[in-house]
Amino acid sequence: MLWVGPVFWLSFEAGPLAQRATLACASHIGMQNFPCSPLALVASGWRNRNLILSLTKREIVGRYRGSVFGLAWSFFNPLLMLAIYTFVFSVVFKARWGISQDEGRGEFAILLFSGMIVHGLFAECVNRAPGLVLGNVNYVKKIVFPLEILAWVALGSSLFHMSVSWVVLLGAQWLLGHIIPATVVLYPVVLFPLILGTMGLTWFLAGLGVYLRDVGQVTGMFTTVMLFISAVFFPLSALPPAYRQWLQYNPLAVVIEQSREVLILGRIPAWDTWLLLTAVGAVMAWLGFAWFQKTRKGFADVL
């Protein structure tokens, strides 16, 4: 890593020589064998934790830079969406979730919003994934940079906005007179399998998006389809048994159902299902990471 400093200097000061240095740097990167084992996945995140945190903060602040309210928008947006859901579904459609006979106004909106929060985390990471490397070409060509952490940065930004929405949800529960159950502390545990699987998809799509630019168009359609087949707008129990069986194979739907149980209904999640989802998520994370590390050798040539 001692040659990184000279490369920086040449890139900014040496004119035509900088171009040759940049190409030499890219060629050196292309010849590297990047580790792709599960241990390398964990080691990369831990070794670059300070850089990940710094880039995540910069991205969160940069999203609202120049606006009058700044970071307050991260609070206003979910609050507005919750108000809209409450009005549309409980006042206009008079929808009911069926959790109890005395289900009052607003319960449907809260249950719906809890599902939207989980889906939003998944959708934001997946939709951004194809452009993570394409939007940071300088990191590929001009400097030695741990490109794999871009997926962690995208996840960190999504988790921040999800946390704000989660606070809004708990505030709405309190205002409606609901007791916030003690099982709410299990919410991060319930989300853990989804985080693993989402990271795997993010790494996979980030690497694939460099070579196949159409991926960015497909991910938007994919996340929209997942919105309607992941029990966001309805409980799994509302489906006919024949369809319910198939939907239970959708990990996102299972995580959404478990998140409602710990956040609102005060139930302990099924740990056998959680363990299975965690194992699947871990495998997805490793496969996605391995794909990214194998394909990154050609990033400099393609870009």
Across residues 7-14, what is the average pLDDT? Answer: 35
pTM here is 0.84
At 225, list the tokens.
């389809």
Across residues 278-285, what is the average pLDDT? Answer: 97
255: nearest Cα among 197, 181, 208: 197
pLDDT at 12 exceeding the cut of 80: no
pLDDT of 98 reads 66
At 86, list the tokens.
């409450």
Work out the mean pLDDT of the chain and round it to a whole number: 83
Identify the band that residue 303 occupies on the pLDDT scale cut at 50, 70 and 90.
confident
User: Which of 73-82, 160-169, 240-249 holds the top average pLDDT?
Assistant: 160-169
Which residue bears the tokens 């159409």? 214
pLDDT of 110 reads 86
CA distance 183 to 174: 15
pLDDT tens digits, one per residue of 21-48: 344 444 444 446 788 888 999 999 999 9
pLDDT tens digits, one per residue of 86-130: 788 777 777 777 666 666 667 888 888 899 999 999 999 999 999
pLDDT tens digits, one per residue of 126-157: 999 999 999 988 888 776 889 999 999 999 99
CA distance 194 to 252: 7
Q: How far is CA 11 from CA 5, 24, 299, in A?
A: 10, 12, 19
pLDDT of 99 reads 67
CA distance 188 to 45: 19
pLDDT tens digits, one per residue of 158-214: 999 999 999 999 998 888 777 889 999 999 999 999 999 999 999 999 999 999 988
> In terms of C-beta distances under 8 Å and separation of at least 24 residues, what long-range contacts does 268-277 make, across chains too?
268/183, 268/186, 269/186, 269/189, 269/190, 274/189, 274/190, 274/193, 277/193, 277/194, 277/197, 277/251
Identify the band that residue 74 occupies on the pLDDT scale cut at 50, 70 and 90.
confident
Identify the band that residue 2 occupies on the pLDDT scale cut at 50, 70 and 90.
very low
Which residue bears the tokens 């496969």? 287
pLDDT tens digits, one per residue of 47-73: 999 999 999 999 998 887 766 667 777
